[in-house]
Each structure stands twice: as structure tokens, then as C-alpha cells.
Chain A
Amino acid sequence: MSEATVTAPAGASRAGGSAPAPARSRRSWLKPLLLVALLVVLLALPLYVEEFWLRTGFAVFGAIVGAIGLNLLVGNSGQLSLAHAFFLAVGAVSYTYISGEEGGLGVAELGGLGLPPIVGMIVGVLLAGLAGLIFSPLAARLRGIYLGVASLALVFIGIHVLNSWTEVTGGFNGRAAPNFELFGFAFANRDPELYVLGVPFREAERLWYLGLVLALAAYLFARNLLRGRPGRALQTQRDSEVAASVMGVNVQGYKARIFLVSSMYAGLAGVMYALSIGSIAPESFGLELSILYLAMIVLGGLGSVNGAVLGAIFVSALPLVFQRYADLIPFVGDRGSGGLAAGEAARFLFGAAIVVVILFEPAGLAGIARRITGRFRRPGGSVTQRPPESHGPTSEPTPSDPPAQGSTT
């Protein structure tokens, strides 16, 4: 929240605030071209890239969906929630139960409805949304930070339920998640066997495309939402609840609705998580997961959809990459060799990155990216025209200095 950009001193009002209209036209063809190129690369990737990267990619797509959802809630509507892991769990468990088969391995008797996976996915998303909706009246009444702590409760209650409700969740050991399937086409290694340009399209390849489609849809929906009427209402409400309500926004209603949307995103992310790992287990949905999602949106940039995407890629891919290249990265290695385990190294990095971002670059990766593209587009000092990025819920554009009263007397 750079004070200098908020307001010019009142005395200098006319001269100080002459912002040129953004030069949009000049490079307007470049952006769509880049986007199309990116899409082509993403579509063609399974032809060239090995399974590890595709599996990582699917995990990242899931994280993107979840992070966008959390950012809508925290970044755009200013409600700090640590309960994201809980809503992911609702989605994952619902999917597993609804589309899973009955059965029992050893001690645990597992239930399952055996419905088509697409039904499981949709109902999982809806149930996660419902859980969010049930919690939202309480959420809407709580001041920001009270909500943050209150939402902790959902995580711990969720873990307890996961551990206890063995018939549905598989209890301590968890249970396997069914493969996804759409109209008889399985996102698995066979059914049907499939080759594209001589490359076998197995589970990893198929899931890649599923992830791409879901993440893209989640991305577009969020972008449109924020650019539209609800987005304006949400962001004004974040900056000043009183101003929003006086302008005709039903603040309580909007808070509840964004909670619903955010937890539906989490539910979908949960389903994708279950598909990515192939199973669900209680310890996967602990506080740590919530904190990782928070790390994603903070590192990416609060309130920015692009930021959520960048943050999700960074946070969810980093440990996997560390793991794979442990021997190439200094300090990282096996526990035995005296180095840091990959997961630990990644956690240190996240922790430090959160602190550094909040201290020095509140706009996160998105802010950095915007600065780079801004420089690229308009060389010179035009970077300073960048809007002051939101820095949490209280970024009202209050004048940083008292208006120069002398000018009126």
C-alpha cells in the first residue's frame, strides 16, 4: 500500500492528478497472441512431457482452482478463512463416497453409492458449497480476524470427523478414490486404450486435459465475476462495508454468497486432489493445507486471479520439483545425508517468501509480473501509474495526509 500513490495533496489537485489514459491499443494484438500460444503449448504438452510432469501438472491445476476460490474470499471480499482445507475435504470425501464402491478391507466397513464419477464430482462441489453456506451467517457476523480464528475450528472438527466416520471416510487410513469417468470414457490407463500421434494416452495424459479444462473454467468464471457487478460490490465491501451498504449492496448477502462460491471452488479442488493422489486420508486435510493455500494467494497477490494461479503453481509444484531434483539443489537431500528433506526445504522457502512478500511486495507475484509487463509495454516511468494493489481488506483510499486546509480558508 504505497501511500504516495493514494492521493496527491489537495492543494495540488489539478496538476498532480493528470493520469494519462492507458495506452491500450498499441500492443493489443500481442496479448491474445501470447494467450493462444500458451494454450497451444498446454494442449500439446502431453505429447512431449513425461508422466511426472503431467501428474504434477494435474496437482497444480487442482491447486489453481482452490487458490482462486480462496482468493475470492480472502483477497476480494476480505474474509480471512483458514477453513479452506475443510471445504476441500468435504469435496474429496463426498466424491469418494458417492462414486466409490461398497466394500471393506480388513476391519473397516466402507460404504459407497457407486454413482457415476461426474455425479460424485458435482455433488461434491455442491456439498462443499452447502457447508460454506451453513457457515457463512456466522462468518458474515465476525470481524475479519475473529473469522480467521473461528475458521480454524472447521479444520479441526473436519479432521475429527474424517478420523471417526469410518464408513464414509475410511477412518485413519483413508480410502481409495475412484477414477474419474465421463460418459464411459475413463480417465485411467485403459477403457479405452488410446494413442495420439503414437503417444500412449494413459491416466496422466487424460487427467492433464481434465485439469486444464476445469482450471480454465474456474479461472474464466472468477475473472468474469470480478469484472462484473458482483465483483465491484465485493471489492467495495472489502474496502468499506459502510460505503458498500449505503450504495445499495446487501453486504451480508454478498459475504454469504462469496463464501458459497469460494467453498464450491474448494470442493472442486478437493475432488481434483482426490483424483490426483488416488486416495484420501485425514492428515491430508489438516491446518497445513489451509496454510499452504493461504501461502499461494499471498505469494501470488491478494485479490488477483492471475496471482492465485501463479501462487498455486509456485507453492504446489515446488516441493515436487525439490523432491525430483534433490541431488542437484544445494542443501536439499535425504535426511541421512545431512541435507534438508525436500518438503522441509519447500516449507522454509514458503515461510520466508510469505514474510518477504508482505514486507516488501504486498502485490505478490502478480504485482511483480505486472511491473515487468508494464515496463515491457511502456518503457519509461509509466510503471508508477500502476494502481496501488490491495493489501488486505482495509485498503480504502483514505487520503494519506489531511487535506491542505489552508487552500479553502
Chain B
Amino acid sequence: MRRLVSLTAATMAAGLALTACGFGGDDGGSGDGGSDGGGSTSLDLLVPQYSDGTTALWDEIIASFEEANPDITVNLEVQSWDNINDVIRTKVQAGEAPDILNIDAFSGFAKDDLLYPADEVVSEDTFGDFQESFVDNASLDGTVYGLPMIASARALFYNEDVLAQAGITEPPATWEDLLAAGSAISALGTGVYGYGMPLGSEEAQAETSIWTFGGGGSWTDGDAITVETPENLAAVEFMKRMIDEGATQPDPGATDRTPMLDVFIQGSIAMAVGLPPTIGQIEERNPALNYGIAPVPTQDGSPVTLGVADHLMAFRNDDDKQDAIRAFLDHFFSTEVYLSFVDTEGFLPTTKSGAEGTANAERFADFLALLPDAQFYPSTNEAWAATQGALQNLLGQIQTQDAVSVLQQIQASADNA
């Protein structure tokens, strides 16, 4: 009996140990011991990893900043996109928010009243240099909290050889064209699939938005998140038609974007929606690929694309750090430093001076031309993060369920948030 009791106690403890989720606490490098002379300020900077070179790029920017501002030190922390949301949440919960954060969505932090308004942490010149559409997308209730940092847009990449093989001369401009082209390519029987539709949890929200925006839909009515609307339903039903009629790769519901684009680059998928960095990936992995870039097909052929902007934001941790934050952000957005970041990472610039000066103007011409027609995720809506999660986790079910019930489930998640 005693052994049973002690065994139970031991298993309880073991069970607890294994059930308890990690209790995040960060004690690495947070000590701002002002050992190097009085008056020194240290800024914590948390950024996601855009590419293998991201850390080196930031190190360079920080080094040049610290040289010009010897009394300020910047502590860089780089996290993968997979982890950064968990990391920032844990830090905020523990009261250890970074001073400057680079991430996609800012509105949740703004609603929790954790951020400085943007115009309080950059100079007037820097603030006035942002393109209007991006500033609107970075505002919440009329106040700008996010500093648009980099932009990205989507376009249709198509394999010219395969399209020619199927007798298609023009890249598809409308949904019906896309369906016809996809079906024709799949019917060739060469093992090449027509259209790559990535509805796996990695980025189902992006693929879906491309379709719903292309059909005149929107994820918000300005106030609430609206998933189940006639326009969105029509778009999702057409996506389902693409799947059912075999115009896509098999099992789109569980296909993630990154590995799928590799399949496109290898030549086994004829058409897929890609991003500016996709150009570089093709150069690196299969330079022989004969491909073209066209606007994303829409319901009636009018140009629309999904724009994405990531933001920098400053947390209101300590009021005496505001000047240091302003100094750093102004340094980052100075044309030369800013373009070194945007051009090296291969994104589209969000500032007016950047758009004129970018070294990639020609390379990204197809994307830059689409930017005026870019629509964004409603990321200022507090419920969007949960809606995006629901889209990622649930939308792929259209492969086996009807579109209405899937949209209803996602709407329910949005309403719950």
C-alpha cells in the first residue's frame, strides 16, 4: 500500500512535470548594468528572421548606429517567424517587452496600450516619408502606431513551357481562365499539376485572401470581421471548384506554401502565386526554369493583389528611453540604411524615398506596378489574429466539406475572439 501511495505521488509529479507548459522567463542579457559610464541607455530590439542574412544585416545597422550614438547600446534578439509570436507574448506577460519590435501586426499591442504613437518615436521628416496607403494600414482609430517597414505583394508565377505545351498562349487573367488552364495542364498526363493552391496551416489565409479580394470580397465591414459574406463565399466556392475539377495539385488542404513553391520551381506545378523573394529562389534553385510573372487572376480580370506590410513599433516601457528609440528609428529609416535593409532582404520599400532609390526597381517591376491595387489584411482589427489562425487551421477543409460550413466555422472563431 505504501508503495502504491509513493508511486502515485511520483507519477503525479511526473505527470505535472510533463503537462506543465514552459514558463517563459528570459534572463539572458536583460541586465542593463550601466557599467560603461553614466547616462548610457540600452534598447532591446526583437526582430524576426527574414532570411539567413537577417542577423548580420541588423548587426551592421546597429554597429553604425552605436558608432554615431556611443551612449546608446542596442541588444538584438532574432527569432524565427515560427516562434516570435510566442516569444513576444511571453515577454509582454512577464512585463519584459522589448523597446522596439519588428513584427507583422501591431494592433493588439496598441489596444493593450503598450505602444508609443508612431509620430512620438520618429522625426517629422521620417514620418512624412511613408507612403499614404501604408500609413493608413498602420493606424488604429486614427492614431498611427506602426511604422511600415517592408512590403510585399503577390503575383502569379507561371511556367511558360508547360503552358505552351497545353496550348495556352496568355497567362490566365480571370478565374475561369485559370480553371480552364489548370484543367488543361492536369489533363496533359505529364505528372505536372495545373495550379498550386497552398491551403495548409502555413499560409492558408494568404491564398484565401487572394481569391476573396479578387472577387471583391473583404474580411471586414470596417468594424467587425466578416468572413461569411456572399463575395467571400463565391470566391471560396470557386476555389473548391478548382480542387474538385482537378485543376490543382492533390490534397491542397494540407499543402504548405514554402514546400509547394519548391515544387513549382522544380517544374511539377505549372502556376502558383509567389512573392518577390520567389524570383531569387528560382535563380538559386533552378535558373533554367522558363517562367513569367503576371497579375493574380481575379473574378473579372481587374487587378487586385494581396499586400502585406510588416511594421516596427516602440513599446512604452520606460519614458526616459523615448529619445534613444527615436534616434534609432530615425537612423534605421535614413535612406541609405533603410535601402540596405530592404534591398538585401529583397522586399518592397514602404517609404517614398525608398521607392525612388531601390536597387530592385527593375527586378520587382511586376510587383511595384501592382502595389497601388494592393489590399491588406484587416490586421488592425483585434479579432484578425484569431481569424487568421482559424483560416490557417480550418479553411483547407473545403477539400472535403462544403464552403458554407467551413466559412461558418471560421466566422465563429472570429466572433469568439
**Genuine A/B complex:** no
Chain B residues at the A interface, C-beta cutoff of 8 Å? none
Chain A residues at the B interface, C-beta cutoff of 8 Å? none
